[in-house]
Amino acid sequence: MKNKKNINNKKDLKINAVIKNAGVVIDQPITQTLEKNYMPYAMSVIVSRAIPEIDGFKPSHRKLLYTMYKMGLLSGSRTKSANVVGQTMRLNPHGDASIYETLVRLSKGYNVLLHPFVDSKGNFGKSYSRDMAYAASRYTEVKLAEICKELFLDIDKNTVDFVDNYDNTMKEPALLPVNFPSVLVNSNVGIAVGMASCICSFNLKEICDTTVGLIKNSNHNILSTLKAPDFSTGGFLLYDETELKKIYETGKGSFKVRAKYIYDKSNNCLEIIEIPPSTTIEAIIDKVIELIKIGRLKEISDIRDETDLDGLKIAIDLKRSTDVDKLIAKLFKYTPLEDSFSCNFNILINGNPKVLGIKEILNEWINFRQECVKKRIYFDLNKKKEKLHLLYGLKKILLDIDKAIKIIRNTKQEQDVIPNLIKNFEIDKIQAEFVAEIKLRNLNEEYILNKIKEINILETDINKMQDILSDDNKIKDIIVDELSSISKKYAQERKTQIIKDFVDFKEVESSEIENYSVNFFLTKEGYFKKITPLSLRMSKDHKLKQSDDISQIILGNNTDELLFFSNKYQVYKTKAYDFEDIKASVMGDFLPVKLETESDESIIYMAAIEKYIGYMIFFFENGKVSKVNIKSYETKTNRKKLINAYSNKSKIIAMFYIKQDSYFMIKSKKSRYLILDTSLLSTKASKDTAGVNVFLLRKGDLIESVLEYKLDESNINDPETKKMLSKKIPSTGILNKKNNNNLEQLSLL
């Protein structure tokens, strides 16, 4: 055992001698670690995995489709998906599971692409279902769809560059020579490191027409031909011209898609037959069930998934006397039956990620396609020049065929045939080789004359090609003709219908909620109660946890928006009607559970907003005060949480929501007092502004408490009040040693 241990020690020493600094912990700056280790990984994910290029494909898509093309699956019968997956691993080393997932997404059966690239047979699942799993690759069959002819057209004519695969045993295309803007025709989503890409799909005919329009006129109005995005799942797109213009110009923005439904009056049933592309059947059903449980959707008696081979269907059974329009309004407001699609047109251009608008993307594609067409013409031109060169040699032979035959026949050694032909007919080696290889049966005048007739045709073609290559407008004309042909061949009707004059169901539903006066109570321990005035008069004794106490009481309305500020500089937004009316004898809703706050987070302030008018005033321990416009907390979408709700530069002492400028009395720990008129403060739009210096504190002094102060006839002429009232800020306040009960206030924290 001892000898064995010594041997192991010797091996360890030998390894340490070979690997420099092996086993030694070296201090390294984090910036250096990120630069050397993390950045190469991040760039690899961005450039080689997650972000699509101008041809519309990520590397995994391109490798898969090219493998299928080389397997001859552009024509003929289908093959097993497992066969395709195995062959693709020669180009893509990331494993069979990820390759098959890529194949599924590109397939017709999965139904996520407007124009699927893979013609599939078997169960490939559905994009609109979370739980409908696809079958194993050994059970499904695939081939390339007909539209793939437009992806690989002229790929063998040097139209694109080819690079080595991962082990340098094969060549693969760096891009596909797509002859239509597939980057915008089919949707594409990718998440890289520090960035992402989300490209919505557009109708093929509209994209082709828009591209043609841009080629003919660089100032072409995109909106005139490209109406709106189009999705394979259908639905209704709520048309917002301003937002679409923003997306078209910047490549960023969002729009709303609404589900399509049918009301079956005889069965009193709603049938959802098309849904937004960003959701699934299961997500919709789960949300509806959740709302039924909390009593938000009392009109529904049953909901079920009736999706079958005929397509998607969610059946919702309604109770008698249900107002269908009101129910639809609720469904669109509270469930993903109306959902937003966020766009981020991030594309790799020459290896660099760029967020581009529609016009920029199409211009980049036009430039790319021009290069492909030029390379194709160069390839054909060189082939024709080579053939013409051979025919020029054949033409010289025509002058004396018998002489050529005699030279070949009288040459004693085979190796001298070519030199003798070159010498006697003044042709080069390539031409001589061509003549020498002509079969004996073809050495007749008719054959040679027919061949020579091609010279005029070839000369005409070559001149035409050279003329095209010298004129970019003629290259563009070729692209226009190809796009027009593709549009006629593959165009299909829009699946997502556009609604310009639509009813905002969210606003309608909100107006139908019963509005009445209520009292809001917030306790120190984070319990919330919503009690009607009548219920409060009947029972004024509150049930509270031991050691708990009520910290805030607000008289508001059932339709108010409630803002709950936490000690983690966040604000949680909800509606008052999201809480049930309760009695004072009930403990109430525990906000950390209701709002889903963080584990160590607590609610410290509540504001009830009827309309977003007024300000939030924040008082900090260091003597600074910030005045934030309440509109800064207003959001167009139903966001439940806003971060950076107030400044974290200093400890918060108090906060108040005021509808108009008010007075506040501030007390420091060293018993200095100051009455602040908030009209002296400038309003900020930034929620987390650090504020302005209001109270000039002495060394070791801090703000202790703040309370709202009512300045009226009873105290406005009081000498002490006048001294404390600041006419300008910052102010040092005054020292007050009297015991004034009006200055006492419990801390919020």
By annotation, the residues acting in catalysis are: 139
Instruction: List strand residue ranges (DSSP E) for 225-308, in order.
Output: 236-238, 252-258, 260-264, 269-274, 300-305
Those residues with Cβ within 8 angstroms of residue 444's Cβ, 6 or more apart along the chain or in another chain: none
Closest by CA position to 55, among listed 63, 44, 43: 63
Phi, psi of 46 (to 5 degrees): -65, -50
Instruction: Please give the Cα distance from 98 to 58 (Å, whole number).
Output: 13
Q: Can you state the percent helix, strand and coil of the chain, rounding each to 5?
A: 40, 20, 40
Token reading at 468: 């095209």
Nearest to 633 by CA among 657, 601, 651: 657
Q: Provide CB contacts within 8 A for 449, sequence distance 6+.
A: 398
Largest CA distance in the chain: 136
Task: Detail the DSSP E strand segments found in 6-105.
Answer: 79-80
- How far apart CA 359 and CA 222 sit, in angstroms, is 7
Secondary structure of residue 339 in the 3-state scheme: strand
Q: Residues of 521-536 as b/e, b for ≥16 C-beta within 10 angstroms? A: bbbbbbbbbbbbeebb
157: Cβ contacts below 8 Å, ≥ 6 apart: 375, 376, 379, 380
CB atoms within 10 A of CB 132: 17
Rounded CA-CA distance 547/184 in Å is 62
Report how far apart, in Å, the C-alpha atoms of 171 and of each of 57, 67, 90, 159, 413 are. Answer: 18, 11, 10, 14, 42
DSSP state of 132: -
* Tokens representing residue 668 in the block: 């420091």
Polymer length of the chain: 749
